[in-house]
Structure formats: structure tokens, C-alpha cells
Amino acid sequence: MDGSILESIGVEIIGVMSPVSICMLLVVLIVYSLTSFSSTSGEPIRTAANLVYLEAPTDSTSEKIEGSLLNALVFVILIAAVTFLLVLLYYYNFTNFLKNYMRFSAFFVLGVMGGSIFISIIRQFSIPIDAITCLILLFNFTVVGVLSIFAEGIPIPILLRQVYMVLLGIIVAAWFTNLPEWTTWTLLVALALYDLVAVLAPGGPLKILVELASSRDDELPALVYEARPTVSRNTRGSSFGLLVGGVSSDSVEVEMTRHNATGARNGDSDELMDNRDEAEETSPLVPTLRDRIRSSSSGGSEFSMGQTEIIENEEDLSPLAAILGMGNDRETQSRSRGIDEETTRGIKLGLGDFVFYSVLVGRAAMYDLMTVYACYLAIISGLGCTLILLSVFRQALPALPISIALGIMFYFLTRVLMEPFVVGTSTNLMMF
């Protein structure tokens, strides 16, 4: 049967939304299963995100607001500085350095931060596993992850790469949920604003980075999730297009120093972990549309739903051939798939978006399940709006602002308005 158009519309949007959903779900699960553990040990952690002010429950509200604002400011300045540094390095063609730095940071995130999360999971559920096996498994896990993230010349399945991207997002997000409440909110707002500026303002670091990368026909030196549908579905001539996205990253320096103050728990008292790791990038959904997006808008301007995903254009493999020197894995991908099949480059979403969406949802999970659902829906719809805007503006767009704004709004609306209403009616067993 000649499939109806319902099957072909929205493939790309779902391709982005499903990993984001998986990421959020897993972060919420981790937060749920680990909160009891970490709340009892109650170690304050100091990271780059709360360098200035360490929130204590006893502080007054104004102190908290002031301190968290300062924290957010410092954090954003740090990110901006690191991003500019990255752009500078990229501008002067230190690509190899950047890639190795990314590898190193991925190694660090997967190995150390991921490792500590695994250890707390193992403790929480009392999984019987000995240290040596655990180390070997962790090492293998990490090495495969590092290889898959920037594979050069190795044909790594795209699925594996996507899985590791999501894992990186989960790990970093799970760490960020350790931040105190007020700091988290101001940080999210500040990052959303920063994202807006960095991607859209002329001279914004991410904008420069994306433009540089697209002028060089290069991949962005960043941790970016690619939603790449394997084959285009449209078998008749008109191909789905290459929605070339690039998301830049700026890696953030997050310094996590974990003072395990009360640490008598498992004998690792006064453990001081100095994790100097990069984290992620606050990044935008930055598709640089190299190819013409032809959307003959006969359906009127509102027809964005259909056009976001279905973008017709010619296939264009030539820029790929130009980057032989890079040993681009994308090329091997397209080769292995056969040249005459249209390659579809999916929308790219920065890992930072994964992280901060999940941070928001994870923070919501500490309050109640209701806020989790509300925030999830808000974030996903914000992402949908961003993708629709993407098809309208056809340039790199920040993915954080709309989603974060909606998410925070829905969080507080749910918490303040909806919860008493719903709890009040449903504990009386009344529904409608």
C-alpha cells in the first residue's frame, strides 16, 4: 500500500525528540533512585556552577537569590570565556587539538563522573560486583565511548554514537542535579539567555563557530547529537533533504570538587575528588542549511508542521568529498550506504541542550511526579516550536530559550496552581 503521508511527516522531529525523551527519562530515574542515597550523606559539592555561593537551607530567600544570581553569572562568564577560546583555536585551525581535547573530556566524563554514578547505583541497589570486574567493564565502556564520539576512519555505527551522546548527556545532567535548587533555576535562565545571545547576536561565539565550520565544510568540533535517519523514505525522485545542522559546543569547564564531609559511609572518608572535566556545550540547535530548503509554501505560512521535516532538495555529496583530510566518518557512512541512496543528514542538537533539559526535568523530579510530566511536555513542545522556527528561519537557532522558558513556567504553574487542585479533587475520587 502506498503509505499515507502520515508516515512520512515528522520523522525528523521524532528523531530528535525521542533521544531527548530517553535522556530525560533516565535522568529522572537516576534522580529518583539516588536521591535517598545522596540526601542521607548530604555532601555539599562545589562546582564551577556554584563557585561563589554555596546554598544552605538556612539562608534567607534574598541571600539565596543573590547568591544564585552571582553563581549563574560566574558560570555563564566561564562558559563564554571557554567558548571564545574554542572559537579562537578553531579559527587558527587547531582542529586536532580540539578533537583530542573533546576525546579527553569525553573520557573523563564517562570514566570518572559516569563511574561515580555507577558506583552509587551499585551501592543503592546492592549489586554484587567485585572491583576488578567493575573497573574492566568501566574501562571498556569508556574507551568504546571515546572512540565512537570522534571516530576517524573507523566505521562506528551511528546508533552507537547516538547512544553514547545520550549517555554523556545523562551523566552530566545527573551531576548537575546535585546543585542546590535556587542555583539550578537561575543557572538555567542564565544559560538560556546566553544561548540566545551566543547563537543569534552578531559576533556571538557560537554563531562564529557555526559560520566558520560551514565555510570550511567541516564538522563542528563539538559534541553534537545527530539525528540521522538511515535512509530517506521517499523512494520516488524527490529526495528528502540534507538538513545540515551543526551545533556547536563550547565546552564548559565544570570543576566538581566533591567534599565528602560526612563520608564515613563506606569508609571513603574525606574523599576529595577533583574532577576537572569539561562538560558539555550549551548548545543550540544549529542547523546551517547549506542547501536550499525548498518549501513552496502553497499551504500558507502556517504549514510549518509539514515543512519542518520534509525538505526537498538535491542530494549533494560534493562537500563531503572535499573533506578527505578529515577522515570524516560521515563520508564512510555515506559510502557504506551506497552513493546512490540519498544520504540524509538529520537535525543536529547540541549535547548541552540534552543536559540542561534533563537538568530541568531532574530538578522537577525532586519535587513531584506531576511537575515532571508538566515540564517534560513543556520542554518537548518548546523543542517542537524551535524546530518549526528552524524551518522558517533556516539558520542556526538556540534550542534552549523557548524550552527552558516554557519548562520553568510550567513548573511553577503546576506547583503553585495545579497541584492543590488536582490533589484536592482526586483525593475525593472526583475526576472528569
Applying CB under 8 A, the residues found at the interface with another protein are: 2, 4-11, 13-14, 17, 234, 236, 238, 296, 298-300, 302-303, 305-306, 309-310, 312, 368-370, 373-374, 377-378, 380-381, 384, 410, 413-414, 416-418, 420-432
Specify the residue, 44 or 306, whose C-beta has the smaller distance to another protein: 306
Quote the distance between the C-alpha of residue 247 and its chain's center. 11
- The strand order across the sheet containing 253-259 reads 45-46, 253-259, 272-278
> Is 170:162 a contact under the CB 8 Å cutoff?
no
Cell 566561564 belongs to 78
For residue 54, which amino acid is it? L
Name the active-site residue from 195, 218, 291, 329.
195
Minimum gap (Å) between residue 258 Cβ and another protein: 28
Residue 48 makes CB contacts below 8 A (sequence gap 6+) with: 74, 75, 78, 252, 253, 254, 255, 256
Q: How far is the CB of 377 from another protein (least distance, A)?
A: 5
Residue 255: which H helix or E strand, with range?
strand 253-259
> Nearer to another protein by C-beta: 170 or 310?
310
Smallest gap from residue 33 Cβ to another protein (A): 11
Let me know if 353 is a catalytic residue: yes
Listed residue (108, 174, 116) closest to 143, CA to CA: 108
Q: Which is nearer to another protein, 5 or 324 (CB)?
A: 5
Size (the chain), residues:
432
Number of C-beta neighbours around residue 269 at 10 A: 11
The nearer residue to another protein, 154 or 377, going by C-beta atoms, is 377
Strand runs (DSSP E) across 90-237, as ranges?
Answer: 224-226
Q: Closer CB to another protein, residue 97 or residue 303?
A: 303
- Strand pairing report for 224-226 and 272-278: unpaired
Instruction: Give the active site residue among 2, 218, 353, 368.
Output: 353
Grid cell locating 92: 587558527
Pairwise CA distance, residues 11 & 252, whole Å: 31
CB 158 to another protein: min, Å: 18
Q: How far is the CB of 241 from another protein (least distance, A)?
A: 13
User: Who contacts 342 (Cβ-Cβ below 8 Å, separation ≥6)?
Assistant: 231, 232, 239, 240, 315
Residues known to be catalytic: 195, 353
